[in-house]
A and B are shown apart, each in its own frame.
Chain A
Amino acid sequence: MQSRLPIIVFALVMAAIPFVPGMPPFWIVLLDNIGLAALVAMGLVLLTGVGGLTSFGQAAFVGFGAYTTAVLSTAYGLSPWLTLPLSLVVSGSLAVLLGLITVRLSGHYLPLGTLAWGLGLFYLFSKLEFLGRNDGISAIPPLSIGTFKMLSPGSIYYAIWVAVILSALLTMNLLDSRTGRAIRALRRGHVAAEAFGVHTPRAKLLVFIHAAVLAGLSGWLYAHLQRAVNPTPFGAQAGIEYLFIAVVGGAGYVWGGVLGAAIVVVLKEVLQSYLPLILPGSGQVETIVFGIMLVALLQLAPGGLWPWLMSFLPERTSGKKPDTSLKLEQRTRSPGQSSILLQVDKARKQFGGVVAVNNVSFDVQAREIVALIGPNGAGKSTTFNLITGVLSASSGSISVLGSKVDRAPPQEIVKLGISRTFQHVKLVPDMTVLENVAIGAHLRGHSGPIASMLRLDRADEAKLLAEAARQIERVGLADQMHQLAGSLSLGQQRIVEIARALCVDPMLLLLDEPAAGLRHMEKQQLATLLRELRDGGMSVLLVEHDMGFVMNLADRIVVLDFGTKIAEGTPATIKTNPEVIKAYLGVAA
């Protein structure tokens, strides 16, 4: 993503290949097939490897693209160039339709759902009269520019590889953007992303459509390369094959898709043409060897071949520091509002028969650090989840600045200026600290996916990254900015979460055990930072077990035990409260 040079070299090499003297025309056919498979695999990389949505149904979208142009250019005589946008629109809009259903599926239901409609659509292709049933549609016109008709595999070669390289560029641009970060956060679960305003179903639908459009493009090219279509290449087997192309290549990497396509297509071809010479005899020996090689490949490199190859290259120097002089708009704070920022009123949460939070009431004022303490299982994290909209209260109400937010989803809560960290760190380990923190500023950016693909988002993007860099410096992790979040110690990861929460430009910061895993010095630095934030006008509500830390920092303490509030007051009064001592030590002292 940093350097364009390798891509330009790659494009030049691909452009030069047909001119190599003595190049067997058959190799060009192979390259055509690789390009077609690579387009679909690239979509799957985004969908499965990056977004975590496994799909077996991509072959069906290739089918939509191919059949759309086949029908329109044969039965209605439309020019193939006119059917291109139509093919993409058909694949894309059917992706919206199927995606609206499919992305709601959770966990393992999702891949299975795609398998189901992949199979169903295959049978539909082979049964529908106007699609030519099992025979398909033939005599599809070739692509042509003026009088030049792309009849040979060599002439359509350029159309295919221009499509591949352009798609790769657009996809990589998309990944390296505000929307891309939201997509990359999907795989780690939706709670963290939603806490910063990402609409996860929308983001999932987006990748779904992107993958489908790429598949549709591949189908359109396929139809005009073969100039005939039939249902076979769009079945479940093909859908599975596309998936393993992506996995073999390296499901998290755009170029992994291209590499995977090259490996699988060439391997199949080599096996088909040479194996019968070595092992004469009946049967599909090549399928057997292919299956065995696939398993062996996975055992050698379970992460795919692209990352495995990349690990041999010298490590790239990490990215440059964003220009921190760029500023994002600040939240407008009207001073006239009530000083009660957050009001929790008789909030109650029941899970079946268990009352996790039992009619708890407390408030947080402006410029105040409130600590929520209590033994394990006291309902502190549940209270956090109620406030941030991850859970909705069984009864009672929660108000922010005087207005009730009872049923608001997390995306709405964060818009009000309440941001949070998590007890169990929820960062994306294979994204850098900078990128992770920038997710916090998601709502403060405005560029959409199309703008990101076309790189029209750079001004917006620079501001977001500048804000992220500023918050990282503020929490003292400037040296780790370009490291992968997963490589940091747990304590540092917690601090990264704080920086991410600060990127929201919050009024109220909710910290769930921020000091756990920190060393003594780091705890002191954290306490200093939180005091600074308070003095700067922010309020903090924190859950913490380190009593020394809490007692020195908090202005006010709320004590929960078994879901019920047992005490509230200044650190000094809490320290001597008999109820609190009983809850912690088991006996009244």
Chain B
Amino acid sequence: MLFLVQDGITNGAIYALLGLALVLVFAVTRVILIPQGEFVTYGALTYASLAAGQMPGTAKLALALGIGAFAFDLFVARKALHGRLILRSILTNIALPAIVLALTAYFAAQKPPVAVSIALSLVIVAMIGLYLYRIAFQPLAHTSVLVLLIASVGVHLALQGLGLLFFGAEGQRGPAVLSGAFTAGALRFTGQSLTVYGITIAFIVGLWLFFGLTLYGKALRATAVNRLGARLVGIRTTLSGQIAFLLASVIGALSGIMIVPITTLYYDSGFLIGLKGFVAAIIGGLVSYPLTAVAALVVGLVEAFSSFYASNYKEVIVFMLLIPVLLLRSLAAPAVEEEKD
């Protein structure tokens, strides 16, 4: 029994992180981030490849996307090009990924230590997230949630296809972030699962502080509530979008790095993992961080128990769990008029 609870909490913690990222991105940009799962697999498999001394294709993808982002920047600013703007765009979109690519190539050749692998994976996926926003979503920022969603599906498909190209069809596992284990009573705690708990809690607290106390955090919240209003008081909504995507991709990559030592991940594993984070995010109403975290734990527990008692119907149970929750939320929510564009 207890090991099921433990298993559920470990998975739930990951879902919580992903759920948080989804809530964050949706609130700020109205994008339902289906590629969140790809951030997970990219992070995990980049880390695993580096640890195995292979050169991950994601580093090259980051550079390619950076060049694309640079082209978009140039195109948008074509009427008012000036040196500083071009220089800044080159630095963030081309110089940065080029340096990271060089570092990756250097380290990959000599089986880097775990910390270096983690750092590189995080930076690579973070850049991919950032440039993706610039290329795919920023030009669509004014459109409806539905169009953004479909674009999100398009990005998901492209990234998943690229994932197969980079990492092949075989699954990979990575080395544990924190090795070692101890037992307490009937339970055995591995260093890895403790890392998962620790990082999840750190992130939840960190996000809470970020949104509650910092100016950027408040700007992001303001953008989430009202884009136009935020722009009128001088918040650059594109910057908010970039920050949201940056955070989401880092969270995704980190989640991936944390689970890849526990379970084998394939290039397409991310989708289902992301979806479960999604379930948690929905239960949290796509707005509340603490509620999302709690819901994620519930999802993890339900999954653990149903995979033990009714493994055939595990996914059915997890997804059907949503319906009553959604119904409750809808009935509880006041009947407000939704003005849609």
**Residue ranges of A at the interface with B (Cβ–Cβ < 8 Å):** 48, 52, 54, 101, 104-109, 111-113, 115-117, 119-120, 123-124, 127, 187-191, 236, 240, 243-244, 247-248, 251, 281-295, 298-299, 302
B38 to chain A minimum Cβ distance, whole angstroms, is 11
Separation of A112 and B149 alpha carbons in the complex (Å): 12
Cβ-defined partner of A288 (8 Å) among B157, B282, B326? B157
Check B333 for interface membership: any CB of A closer than 8 A: yes
Which stretch in B41-49, B105-113, B315-323 binds the other chain? B315-323
Separation of A285 and B150 alpha carbons in the complex (Å): 19
User: Could you tell me if A112 and B326 are in contact, using CB atoms closer than 8 angstroms?
Assistant: yes
User: Could you tell me if B279 and A287 are in contact, using CB atoms closer than 8 angstroms?
Assistant: no
Separation of A244 and B320 alpha carbons in the complex (Å): 24
Separation of A290 and B323 alpha carbons in the complex (Å): 32
Interface of B is mostly: helix
Nearest to B317 among chain A residues (CB) is A120
Check B312 for interface membership: any CB of A closer than 8 A: yes
A170 to chain B minimum Cβ distance, whole angstroms, is 24
Check B136 for interface membership: any CB of A closer than 8 A: yes
Residues of chain B within 8 A (CB-CB) of A108 are: 26, 145, 286
A1 to chain B minimum Cβ distance, whole angstroms, is 24
B24 to chain A minimum Cβ distance, whole angstroms, is 15
Separation of A286 and B162 alpha carbons in the complex (Å): 10
Binary per-residue interface labels of chain B (316-341) against chain A in the complex, 1 for a CB within 8 Å, 0 otherwise: 10011011001101110101011110
Residues of chain A within 8 A (CB-CB) of B147 are: 247, 298, 302
User: Could you tell me if B279 and A189 are in contact, using CB atoms closer than 8 angstroms?
Assistant: no
B226 to chain A minimum Cβ distance, whole angstroms, is 16
Residues of chain A within 8 A (CB-CB) of B320 are: 116-117, 120
Residues of chain A within 8 A (CB-CB) of B26 are: 108
User: Could you tell me if A119 and B275 are in contact, using CB atoms closer than 8 angstroms?
Assistant: yes
Residues of chain A within 8 A (CB-CB) of B135 are: 295
User: Could you tell me if B329 and A109 are in contact, using CB atoms closer than 8 angstroms?
Assistant: yes
Cβ-defined partner of B330 (8 Å) among A52, A104, A240? A104
Q: A109-B326, A113-B323, A116-B320 are in contact. Are A285 and B338 (CB under 8 A)?
A: no
Residues of chain A within 8 A (CB-CB) of B338 are: 106-107, 189
Interface size class of B (residues with CB under 8 A): 35 or more
Q: A101-B327, A112-B282, A283-B164 are in contact. Are A294 and B157 (CB under 8 A)?
A: yes
User: Could you tell me if A187 and B326 are in contact, using CB atoms closer than 8 angstroms?
Assistant: no
Check B99 for interface membership: any CB of A closer than 8 A: no
Residues of chain A within 8 A (CB-CB) of B158 are: 287-292, 295
Cβ-defined partner of B326 (8 Å) among A54, A105, A127? A105
Check B198 for interface membership: any CB of A closer than 8 A: no
Residues of chain B within 8 A (CB-CB) of A113 are: 322-323, 326
B205 to chain A minimum Cβ distance, whole angstroms, is 27
User: Could you tell me if A244 and B159 are in contact, using CB atoms closer than 8 angstroms?
Assistant: no
8 sampled A-B residue pairs with Cβ under 8 A:
A240-B34, A283-B161, A283-B165, A284-B164, A286-B161, A288-B158, A291-B161, A302-B147
Separation of A519 and B326 alpha carbons in the complex (Å): 47
Residues of chain A within 8 A (CB-CB) of B156 are: 291
User: Could you tell me if A190 and B337 are in contact, using CB atoms closer than 8 angstroms?
Assistant: yes
Residues of chain B within 8 A (CB-CB) of A281 are: 165
A353 to chain B minimum Cβ distance, whole angstroms, is 16
Check B151 for interface membership: any CB of A closer than 8 A: yes
User: Could you tell me if B340 and A52 are in contact, using CB atoms closer than 8 angstroms?
Assistant: yes
Separation of A105 and B154 alpha carbons in the complex (Å): 26
User: Could you tell me if B313 and A127 are in contact, using CB atoms closer than 8 angstroms?
Assistant: yes
Nearest to B268 among chain A residues (CB) is A284
Nearest to B137 among chain A residues (CB) is A295
A281 to chain B minimum Cβ distance, whole angstroms, is 8
User: Could you tell me if A288 and B165 are in contact, using CB atoms closer than 8 angstroms?
Assistant: yes
**Given A236-B275, A281-B165, A291-B160, 17 additional A-B pairs, CB 8 A:** A54-B146, A104-B327, A106-B338, A113-B323, A116-B323, A117-B319, A117-B323, A123-B313, A124-B316, A189-B338, A243-B149, A247-B150, A282-B164, A284-B160, A294-B150, A298-B140, A298-B154
Check B288 for interface membership: any CB of A closer than 8 A: no
Nearest to B165 among chain A residues (CB) is A283
Check B212 for interface membership: any CB of A closer than 8 A: no
Cβ-defined partner of A119 (8 Å) among B315, B331, B335? B315
Separation of A247 and B148 alpha carbons in the complex (Å): 10
A420 to chain B minimum Cβ distance, whole angstroms, is 14
Residues of chain A within 8 A (CB-CB) of B235 are: none
Nearest to A351 among chain B residues (CB) is B334
B66 to chain A minimum Cβ distance, whole angstroms, is 16
Cβ-defined partner of B331 (8 Å) among A54, A104, A236, A299? A104
Residues of chain B within 8 A (CB-CB) of A288 are: 157-158, 161-162, 165
Separation of A248 and B147 alpha carbons in the complex (Å): 9
Q: A104-B330, A109-B330, A120-B315 are in contact. Are A294 and B322 (CB under 8 A)?
A: no
Q: A108-B145, A113-B322 are in contact. Are A188 and B161 (CB under 8 A)?
A: no
Check B90 for interface membership: any CB of A closer than 8 A: no
Separation of A183 and B63 alpha carbons in the complex (Å): 48
Check B153 for interface membership: any CB of A closer than 8 A: yes
Check B155 for interface membership: any CB of A closer than 8 A: yes
Check B206 for interface membership: any CB of A closer than 8 A: no
Check B139 for interface membership: any CB of A closer than 8 A: yes
Residues of chain A within 8 A (CB-CB) of B313 are: 123-124, 127
Cβ-defined partner of B139 (8 Å) among A54, A117, A299? A299
Check B143 for interface membership: any CB of A closer than 8 A: yes
Separation of A52 and B327 alpha carbons in the complex (Å): 18
User: Could you tell me if B161 and A287 are in contact, using CB atoms closer than 8 angstroms?
Assistant: yes
A-B interface, 10 closest residue pairs, ranked by CB to CB distance from nearest: A291-B158, A294-B154, A291-B157, A287-B161, A288-B161, A116-B322, A283-B165, A120-B319, A284-B161, A123-B315
Residues of chain B within 8 A (CB-CB) of A54 are: 145-146, 149
Separation of A155 and B139 alpha carbons in the complex (Å): 45
User: Could you tell me if A251 and B146 are in contact, using CB atoms closer than 8 angstroms?
Assistant: yes
Binary per-residue interface labels of chain B (234-245) against chain A in the complex, 1 for a CB within 8 Å, 0 otherwise: 000000000000
Residues of chain B within 8 A (CB-CB) of A112 are: 278, 282, 322, 326
Nearest to B327 among chain A residues (CB) is A101
User: Could you tell me if A298 and B150 are in contact, using CB atoms closer than 8 angstroms?
Assistant: yes
B267 to chain A minimum Cβ distance, whole angstroms, is 9
Residues of chain B within 8 A (CB-CB) of A123 are: 313, 315-316, 319
User: Could you tell me if A291 and B150 are in contact, using CB atoms closer than 8 angstroms?
Assistant: no
Separation of A282 and B267 alpha carbons in the complex (Å): 14
User: Could you tell me if B330 and A105 are in contact, using CB atoms closer than 8 angstroms?
Assistant: yes
Cβ-defined partner of A106 (8 Å) among B139, B275, B330? B330
Cβ-defined partner of B319 (8 Å) among A111, A119, A291? A119
